[in-house]
Structure 1
Amino acid sequence: MHAFSRRFRAAQPPEAALRRLPKLPAALSLTVLWRGLAVAGLATTLLLPSTPAVAQEVRSYAVPAGSLDDALNSFARQAGVTLSFTPEQVSGRGSAGLKGSHTVEGGLAALLAGSGLVARAGADGYVLQGVPVTNLGQGDAVLGTVHVSAQATGAPGTTEGSGSYTTDSAATATRLNLSLRETPQSVTVMTRQQMDDQGILELADIVRQTPGLTLNQSGNMGSDSSAIYSRGFVVENYQIDGVGMVNSNYSTLFQTTDMAFYDRAEIVRGATGLMNGMGTPGATINLVRKRPTAWFQASAKVEAGSWDHYRAEADISTPLNEAGTVRGRVVAAYQESGSYIDRLQQRKQLLYGIIEADLAPTTLLTAGFSVLQDDMSGHARSGRPLFYSDGSRTDWSRSDSAAADWAYSRRNYQSFFAALEHGFAGGWKVKGTASHSISDYDEVLGYAAGGNPVRATGAGMNLWAGRWAGAPTQDSLDVYATGPFQLFGREHELVVGATATRSIENTHGYRLWSFSGWSSAIPDIWTWDGNFPAAPYNPALSDIHGKERINSAYFTARFRPTDALALLVGARSTSWENRRATYTYASGTRSESNRAEKGQLTPYAGVVYDLNDSWSLYGSYTDIFKPQNNMDPSGAYLDPLLGKAYEVGTKAELFNKRLNLALAAYLIQQDNYAVQIPGVLAPNGANAYRAASGTETCGFEVEVSGEPLRDWQIAAGFARNMVEDRDGHALNTNIPQNTLKLFTSYKLAGVGQGLTVGGGLRWQNRIWSDNQGPASVRVTQDGYTVMDLMARYPLSKQVTLSANLYNATDEKYYTTTSSAYYGEPRSLRLAMDVRF
């Protein structure tokens, strides 16, 4: 990939100017082909009419490198113009992409330079014409002085710089780079633009804003008491760049991941056994890293907000040699934050670096690292009790903390990765990725959730105390090949791959909840400041050694029997082994837990049928298999979750593929479904569960994302989910059945440099838990709505100010029905972003 710039001048006559155009590389000879109509040989029109104002407006474009049809589709979608052509004009070429600020005519001239094609402006938009130089007319899009800066802009699906709330492709569901419409499952992509607009900082914020996902937060983020749910199941499958992160002992480690490293988050709801091998049929969250750009760009951002929130970020990307064949990027951030909850403080430090090198025109080497240190003090695993000792309800302030002053959570995540990718003739590609990660965590627990206070005296409460710590390491190797193949005179696609993962954790065991010679009593909760009682003496009691191995091989084939029909079939074979040994110092005894599953086969099938150029119907099926780490009250692990998942729906690409619409209905049948037993703990100190068989989960989801009108972005979704046992009784009633999430922004181009305003809401229906408090009554949190607002104003091309107001109406609500843990009150964050 090479960076270059050219200056074109229109002299008299215009054909003379065109004769002086430089001969550019063949990779920049751009054409367009709408694949769905190519075989039919029909003319294609990329909708949205152009206007003189649109044609002359200078705006930023980010057209990814790839096929020529995708490049001009992307440009027309971003420009909001009509572009008409025939397949014969544009067949069989590639594109290096386009980056920078242009008028519509300037961008078209850049894309078509050297191709023998021109774009003629007309009353209904632009028309591609391939004509001899001497026949060019005055309306061709080579007029005026145009500065062109064209670069390859990154991998398919890249959202940075697009300004959009949607993307052109996602690979998390099948590893094929398919559009959302071509994927026979429910997929949400949280783009870089939406994250910036909503001020999203970590993974938990992604969950709060993603349709169909629910955060059941019983305490401060990062502990095991805050679980992410999708379609009635806890989300346990996390990926980075498509490679699974494995830590079955403590998957909530990933919930506090900072989003500064990432271009986007791809969330596939439903069963994803094809890409994971194992997992609940809830969702997979795949975080896709930022990559270096072939042009220099740099940004710095500072922000401040309520409760002493301060954060600074820097992001620099640049070519490292003159040819641009070696590129690097560095991202760094530092954050200190207080909280609306007393004593809770957070400090973050993070650094990310990545280098890409073009070893050959079709060979790419990538290597990088990331480090995240996240420390919280005054950290609590829950809120205060919901009931007084007489059975009446408490009414704490939202700022009242359950945390002892000495309680903390410390996390230090380190990752090192390298990938080698090579392209072959005929469109085939092979990629291998190796990674090594360390997730170092240490949590000292102390929170006032025991007992129930006496209203008059404040006595009757005690601390739950303990500690858990570890530093699990994971080594992964993922290799796959993908490309087209011919069968029965038509072209199809295939992916074959294998993944090997090793996770090792050597740590110590500590005492939980009760300690000899230590009183956990809090004399008076009304005057308690978290300092008394002091932390109990809690030395290590045991050595714990854990090893987890996952080996899997898979394939996905996408057959195209007709232009309108796509059949996807695949399977994954997974072998899993988990060994855990504990040596107890006091008794000198050793206990072992060895679990394994060999050659577990997970089939997958999907079908997509195009009704027309915009609408499709789809259906998919897969099996469910997940060894569970939930324990029953005796400490025995629940048997693996088994079942079947079905999904049907319709999807659409509207407004020239700028807007994605999806409607899905699903049915999940499972055995050994884990149901939390309220108020009961397993011997390891975690919540205890029971296994329910013959359960069914069903529901539907509606989602829309993208740009329905120029400068208007929207991301919205409604989800309904119901979980019932074999007798029709509702399960997991502490998770809302209905949720609605909406965020939208609009750029007022006529206001100064261009004011962007936006807002959103999150609504859920009521949740409840039975058998709570001294009288074993039902606790209900009624449905509620949280509203957020934002504004962004550029002072210049380099400096932008932004403001985010969260919970604008100051809604007061519990985030759970197990303790008095409140959602965040109204808060404000202000930021200044400087770009170079």
Structure 2
Amino acid sequence: MDARDALTLLLAGSGLSYQQSGNTLIVSQPSTDALELGATSINGFALGATTEGTGSYTSGSTATATKLPLSIRETPQAVSVMTRQRMEDQNLTQLLDVVKQAPGLSVNQGGNAGSDSSLIYSRGFQVENYQVDGLQRLDSNYKSVAQSNDMVLYDRVEIIRGATGLTNGVGTPGATVNLIRKRPTADLQSSVSVATGSWNYQRTEVDVGGPLNDSGTLRARVVGAYQDNESYIDRFNERKKVFYGIVEADLTPDTLLSFGMDSQSHDADDHARSGLPLFNKDGSRAKWSRSDSAAASWAYSNRHFTTGFATLEHNLSERWKAKLTLNRDRYEYDEVLGYAAGGNPDPATGAGVNLWAGRWAAKPVQTSVDLNIAGNFDLWGLEHDAVLGYTRQHTEFRTNGYPLWWFDGWSNAIPNIYTWNGDIPGKPPLPATSRIDYQEDQTAVYGSTRLRVTNDLSLILGARVNDWKNTVKTDYYDATPDTDERRQETGVVTPFAGVVYDLDQHWSLYASYTSIFKPQSNKDISGKYIDPLEGEGYEVGSKAAFFDDRLNLGLALYEIKQDNLAVLIQPNVPVPGGGFAYRAESGTKTRGFELEIAGELAPDWQAGASFSRNIVQNADGNKLNTNVPQNTFKLFSTYTLRQVGNGLTVGGGVNWQSEIYSDNQGPNKVRFTQGDYAVVDLMARYPITRQLSATLNLNNLLDKEYYTNTAGSSYYGTPRNATLGLKYAF
């Protein structure tokens, strides 16, 4: 229970309510005129971990980096929090929307949101590490499922940039994205929201939470959403259905049981994982409208996932607590692919473009358990913190394998791309060609501690010992030899070390070392698997916190090294069991710095701003990932004008990125460059009554035209659009 919930319980039955405004807590008496309130102000109200209801663009604490409940300033690693208020202000309804606004992250979007060609990068590396309430989600060959998460379920998104082997074990050194679910509220809170916008965007949300008994020891919350929208891209249509329910029970004053489930259904027609070709057959630039679709009319994407979870927390003493978390995720995805990205069109006839087609589908199930004991202890006259835990994730699925890209007796040629409506050629035959059995397991013990050397100097030390294994059995329905691929890593240690020194009550200096590893499926010339990718991160910086942690500032300088990157040997060398040989290349390095400010600049003024720079090079000093911007600047801010009517909130922001480019593009193998650009957004919110408010969002106000990807095909960023929403709270 955080401070806000405690205050709610304190006021229960008094007829009083409260509202937070900046560093002021307004306790109000009921009035016959809802807009004329008598109030008492309480200053110095600090934030907790929960962001809902605070109106803030930052959070008071996070455990994603170290498993220890530390403030952002106390954490020796770059931490950003996208809060509930920030998501509502910008109408960020899916994870990919949040990532585009988050500090230090870039999206290389090659297709419709949720497609596997929309890659997220941090510090030069793909982001593959996703958590929900601190529990890791295994990759399972389909990490783009995470991008489709609907934000109506979540209180906040915590992002740790850099390697996170302590909390993940397996992954890449770019970042970890942790989605934190909403929790039941101590008092009855309900709301209904409706929104409409460009391209037939329609969305409805319902959120009800509160106590189920008079004592408040049993609480629940139910959240639901439905969305139907088209797109600036022709023919595309998407439907979403979301449900979330959770119950909390205080079994004793020291024991809390939580359990619930959530379900999300995302279905899209005329779905494409790419845009149209960038170049014509003669090497000239192809000219497309932003609305032109690369999708075949029979292509679709269906993604459904359901989670059941339970958590038992027990206070062992006043200083120590045990926590057991169980989780079972069932994913179901089915995509029939058809997108016009092959070849290059003849500018005179429109011939020369081909469809890439295929299908992939599976129903992976992941079971997770995490048990930890956390608390604090005294040593040499100072208080220290520690956590020790065990975790296990098991993922499995059995599915059919389907053909991809080429099919006997089916022509993938489009007669004229300029008059194409997505119908020709028709859907190819997609019979199952194999049976795949997949299993992935990760088991680990972990521990971390914060040792206070002095009142101003803290050491944070931790380690995780990982066991990982993966089995993929493929039985082919034709004469192709069956395969049984097995990989295993045992006793891999991923250490963590950090130091934080408080210069004064606001400013700190920090340094940290982090690590992570990722097994690979590529083989060397002898047929053995390439050693796991190994990532190490070194980071130094300074952080500051003001107004009881309601404003956070951060500066980070970092270097990340990655070894054992699998590189295809040229010319191709076959290996036993199929495929071609790879070699391990070490020395990939990214260096950069990040600046961030988030939270309350003054009463009624919230802001989130960041600047990031990173340069990725291989061992020879050549630049890598040039399709990802080296520099990004992101800003969004709101201010409430309380003297205007009932209190008008206005906001705006800009996202700028430096140029990106890709070499060897088109028939003439030239460089294609998207120059630097900026996208401007505006918003306004007005409380019509105490319960009813209206919010207007204008995105890409200047209607900037730009490509989100420079490799292979043209995919345009979203044009100017608007959304109008109404929210009734009761």
CA distance in 1, matches of 2:581, 2:130: 23
Change (3 A) 1:507 1:271: same
Match of 1:524 in 2: 416
Rounded Cα–Cα distance in structure 2 between residues aligned with 1:334 and 1:691: 47
* Residue 40 (structure 2) aligns with: 106
Match of 2:150 among 235, 246, 258: 258
Q: TM-score, normalised by structure 2?
A: 0.93
Judged with a 3 Å threshold, the aligned counterparts in structure 2 of structure 1 residues 727 and 80 are, in CA distance, closer, same or farther, namely farther
Contact 1:580 1:592 in 2 (8 A): yes
Instruction: Name the CA distance, whole Å, in 2 between partners of 1:336 and 1:6.
Output: 41
> Cα–Cα, structure 1 residues 570 and 671, in superposed 2: closer, same or farther, change >3 Å?
same
1:729 is matched with which residue? 622
Paired residue for 2:19, among 57, 60, 84?
60
The 1:689/1:363 distance shift into structure 2, 3 A limit, reads: farther
- What does residue 709 of structure 2 align with? 816
User: In the TM superposition, what are the counterparts of 1:118-133 in structure 2 within 5 Å?
Assistant: none
* In 2, Cα distance between equivalents of 1:746 and 1:630: 52
Q: 1:339 maps to what in 2?
A: 231
2:330 alignment counterpart: 438
Does structure 2 retain, via aligned residues, the 8 Å contact 1:3–1:294?
A: no
Gap change, CA 1:780 and 1:676, over 3 Å in 2? farther
Alignment of 1:459-474 (within 5 A): 459-474=351-366
CA distance in 1, matches of 2:658, 2:708: 12
Which one of the candidate residues 420, 427, 434 is aligned to 2:319? 427
Q: In the alignment, is the contact (CA less than 8 A) between 1:421 and 1:429 conserved in 2?
A: yes
Separation of aligned partners in 2, 1:503 and 1:535: 32
1:635 Cα deviation after fit: 11
Report the alpha carbon displacement of residue 587 of structure 1 after superposing the two structures with TM: 1.9
**Partner-residue secondary structure (3-state), 2:89:** helix
The one-character-per-residue Cα deviations of 1:471-506 (angstroms, maximum 9, x if unpaired) are 100000001110011212221110000101110011
Q: How far 1:78 moved relative to its partner?
A: 3.9
Q: Deviations over 1:418-472 (max 9, x none)?
A: 0000012231111000010111000100000111000000011110100000010
Do residues 789 (structure 1) and 682 (structure 2) align? Answer: yes
Question: Residue 711 of structure 1 aligns with which residue?
Answer: 604
Q: d(CA) in 2 for partners of 1:749 and 1:629? A: 59
Superposed counterparts of 1:275-674, under 5 Å: 275-587=167-479, 589-628=481-520, 639-673=531-565
Equivalent pair of 1:604/1:620 in contact (CA under 8 Å): yes
Whether 1:738 and 2:631 are equivalent positions in the alignment is yes
Of the three residues 116, 120, 123, the one matched with 1:231 is 123
Shift of 1:277: 1.1
* Structure-1 residue corresponding to 2:721: 827
- Residue 40 of structure 2 aligns to a residue whose secondary structure is helix
The structural deviation recorded for 1:693 is: 1.7
**Letter matched to residue 634 of structure 2:** K
Residue pair 2:473, 2:485 contacting (<8 A) in 1 also: yes
Question: Is 1:77 matched with 2:23?
Answer: yes
Deviations along 1:727-764, one digit per CA (max 9) or x if unpaired, are 21101111111011110000000001100000111111
TM-score normalised by length of structure 1: 0.82
2:593 equivalent among 693, 696, 700: 700
Q: Secondary structure at the match of 2:55?
A: coil
The secondary structure found in structure 2 opposite 1:193 is: helix
Matched to 1:434, the amino acid is: L
* Alpha-carbon shift at residue 221 of structure 1 (Å): 1.6
Residues 684 and 695 of structure 2 are in contact (CA less than 8 Å); yes or no, is this contact kept in structure 1?
yes
| Cα pair distance change 1:646/1:397, threshold 3 Å | same
- How far is the alpha carbon of 1:655 from its aligned partner? 3.7
Q: Structure 2 unaligned runs (5+)?
A: 1-5, 28-33
> Is the CA contact 1:480–1:498 (under 8 Å) kept in the aligned structure 2?
yes
Matched, 1:175 2:59: no
CA drift of 1:80 comes to 10
CA RMSD across the alignment: 2.9
SS at match of 1:810: coil
Structure 1 residues 236 and 106, CA gap change in structure 2 (3 angstroms):
same
Shift in alpha-carbon separation, 1:287–1:643, aligned structure 2, 3 A: closer
CA distance in 2, matches of 1:554, 1:269: 20
Whether contact under 8 Å (1:659, 1:708) holds in the other structure is yes
Residues 79, 104 of structure 1: 8 Å contact kept = no
Pick from 665, 670, 674 the counterpart of residue 777 of structure 1.
Answer: 670
Secondary structure, counterpart of 2:714 in structure 1? coil
> Does the 8 Å contact 2:26/2:39 carry over to 1?
no
**Counterpart-to-counterpart distance in 1, 2:523 and 2:137:** 22
Question: Which AA in structure 2 matches 1:759?
Answer: G
Which one has the bigger helix percentage?
1
Q: Which of 1 and 2 has higher RCO (CA within 8 Å, sep 6+)?
A: 2
> Paired residue for 2:30?
none
State the AA in 1 paired with 2:40.
Answer: G
Contact 2:163 2:535 in 1 (8 A): no
Cα distance, 1:344–1:276 mapped onto 2, change above 3 Å: same
- Which residue of 1 is the match for residue 97 of structure 2? 205
Summarize deviations over 1:299-348 as a string: whole Å, max 9, x none: 00000000010000000002111111000000001000000001111000
CA contact (8 A) 1:654 1:660 kept: yes
> In the alignment, what sits opposite 1:30?
none
Shift of 1:270: 0.4
Match of 2:3 in 1: none
Separation in 2, partners of 1:535, 1:522: 13
Cα distance in 2, alignment partners of residues 637 and 455 from structure 1: 46
Q: Shift of the alpha carbon at 1:175?
A: 1.2
Contact 1:570 1:603 in 2 (8 A): yes
User: 5 Å matches for 1:176-191?
Assistant: 176-191=68-83
Q: How big is each residue's C-alpha offset from its partner over 1:388-436, in whole Å with a ceiling of 9 and x where there is no partner?
A: 0001111100000000000011001000000000012231111000010
Q: Which residue of 2 aligns with 1:29?
A: none
- What secondary structure is seen at the aligned counterpart in 2 of 1:255? helix
Change (3 A) 1:555 1:670: same
Report the 3-state secondary structure (helix = DSSP H, G, I; strand = E; otherwise coil) of the residue aligned with 2:318.
Answer: helix
- 1:807 maps to which of 700, 704, 709: 700
> Residues 468 and 8 (structure 1 numbering): CA distance in 2 closer, same or farther, change over 3 Å?
closer
SS of corresponding position for 1:252: helix
Structure 2: distance between partners of 1:449 and 1:190: 35
Amino acid at match of 1:831: G
Shift of 1:6: 6.0
SS of the equivalent of 1:195 reads: helix
Letter in 1 for 2:719: P
Shift of 1:643: 3.5
Which has the larger Rg? 1
Contact 2:22–2:602 (Cα < 8 Å) also in 1: no
Query: What is the match of residue 222 of structure 1?
Result: 114
Q: How far, CA to CA, are the matches of 2:473 and 2:607 in structure 1?
A: 51
SS of residue matched to 2:145: helix
